[in-house]
Structures are given as structure tokens and as C-alpha cells.
């Protein structure tokens, strides 16, 4: 049975879909079989996957599925029987509809952009995950290293009672450029962005093991 990671954040624009896609590609490059599930009605992850399919062709070890919010757990558990890693992209809202995706998860990954508003939004996700007794990993996303705000948000995130990833994902143009072509930063080879994703994947896999 593969590990299931649910990427959740109630505030839009936190970078959930980009993070999901990049972690999936990095995991696949390591030889893991991967499935991504899009539960967001906006369908951005599905659009990205279809662009990737058109550019790179079929890959038997990289699967895609869609699910309603309530069907997320069923779909995730089904694909986890044949995939080493399942990543669920969720809509930017926190309500009862999110619970099935949380309940199915080995780990809830919570991206937080470096703003106080984003941090406030995180509390609802963590509360819901605690009710489902699921471990959470906060990752600072679109971070600007060396700024006072980034340091303040990192310190405040650590006070929320969830694990905070050592890896921070930078505010880099490479993420937006590659997503639009159905690609990920790992497709362009090494570099700062690729290194960040690799390091975060290490943390995610370790935390998902429990």
C-alpha cells in the first residue's frame, strides 16, 4: 500500500497544485510509481497533467485521477494499491468536504506563503487534521530567504503545534514557467528549485512513514 499525502490549505494562492505536481515528478524520477488526484473543481492539476501527457507521452508509473471531495478517500485508497506515492490536491476551503481527503492521508502537507494572512488560514487546516488524527507538515512556500517577514512567519508557524519542514520553497519564476508547459522544475535538471523539491520530498516521505 502506497503512502498518501494530502496537500491542503484553505487560502487560495498558496501553491498547492504547483507543489503537488513538482513533488510527483521528483518522486517519479526516483523510480517511485506515483498517482496524483485532483479534487479541486477548478481542475488545474488535471490540465497540467494533460499538458504533460501531450508533451512527454504515457508513463505507466505516473497515474492521474479526479474525485469529488467525498470520493477522495475511496479513490486514494484504490490507487494506493498500485502506486508507491499518492498525492491529493484539494480545493482552497476547509469544511466537512475536506475530511475524506484528510482521513485517507498518511500525511497532510500544508503550504504557507510568507504572509501573516496565510498563516492565519493554516490554523483551520491543522485543527481539522487533528480531529482526524493525521500528522501535518507545514512548508513555507514562495519564501524570500533572508527577509525579516520570512523569519517571523517561520517562527510563528513553529508555534502552531505542527512539524515545520526544514526545506523552504523559494519564490522562483521556474515554478510558474514549467507548470504552464506541463512540466516540473526537475525536468530542467538540477538547480536551486530542483534541489528544494528534492529536499522537501525527502522530508515528506520520511514524515509520511510515521
**What distance in Å separates the CA atoms of residue 39 and residue 134, rounded to the nearest whole number?**
19
CA dihedral (64, 70, 76, 81) in degrees, to 10, reads: -120
**Whether this model's pTM surpasses 0.75:** yes
Strands ordered across the beta sheet of 34-38:
62-66, 34-38, 85-89, 3-7, 107-113, 136-141, 163-164
Ordered by where they begin, the domains of the chain are 3-209 (3.40.50.300)
* DSSP secondary structure string for all residues of 47-61: HHHHHHHHHH---TT
User: Would you state the pLDDT for residue 84?
Assistant: 98
User: Would you state the pLDDT for residue 104?
Assistant: 95
SS3 helix, strand, coil % of the chain, rounded to 5?
45, 20, 35
Do residues 167 and 139 touch, judged by C-beta distance below 8 A? yes
User: Would you state the pLDDT for residue 96?
Assistant: 66
- Per-residue model confidence as pLDDT tens for the chain (210 residues): 899 999 999 878 789 999 999 999 999 999 999 999 999 999 999 999 999 999 999 999 999 999 998 899 999 999 999 999 999 999 887 666 889 999 999 999 999 887 778 778 888 889 899 999 999 999 998 887 766 766 777 777 778 888 889 999 998 999 999 999 999 999 976 688 999 999 999 999 999 986
Residues 6+ apart with CB under 8 A from 21: 36, 45, 48, 49, 179, 184
Amino acid at each position: 500500500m502506497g503512502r498518501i499525502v494530502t496537500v491542503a490549505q484553505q487560502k487560495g494562492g498558496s501553491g498547492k497544485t504547483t507543489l503537488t505536481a513538482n513533488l510527483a515528478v521528483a518522486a517519479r524520477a526516483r523510480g517511485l510509481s506515483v498517482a496524483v488526484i485532483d479534487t479541486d473543481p477548478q481542475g488545474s492539476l488535471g490540465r497540467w497533467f494533460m499538458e504533460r501527457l501531450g508533451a512527454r507521452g504515457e508513463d505507466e508509473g505516473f497515474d492521474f485521477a479526479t474525485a469529488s471531495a467525498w470520493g477522495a478517500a475511496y479513490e486514494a485508497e484504490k490507487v494506493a494499491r498500485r502506486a508507491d506515492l499518492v498525492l491529493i490536491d484539494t480545493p482552497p476551503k476547509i469544511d466537512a468536504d475536506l475530511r475524506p481527503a484528510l482521513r485517507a492521508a498518511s500525511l497532510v502537507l500544508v503550504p504557507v506563503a510568507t504572509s501573516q494572512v496565510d498563516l492565519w488560514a493554516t490554523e483551520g487546516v491543522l485543527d481539522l487534521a487533528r480531529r482526524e488524527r493525521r500528522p501535518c507538515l507545514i512548508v513555507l512556500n514562495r519564501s524570500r530567504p533572508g527577509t525579516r517577514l520570512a523569519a517571523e512567519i517561520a517562527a510563528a508557524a513553529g508555534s502552531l503545534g505542527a512539524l515545520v519542514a526544514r526545506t523552504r520553497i523559494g519564490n522562483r519564476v521556474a515554478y510558474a514557467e514549467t507548470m504552464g508547459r506541463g512540466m516540473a522544475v526537475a525536468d530542467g535538471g538540477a538547480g536551486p528549485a530542483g534541489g528544494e523539491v528534492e529536499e522537501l520530498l525527502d522530508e515528506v516521505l520520511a514524515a509520511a512513514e510515521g
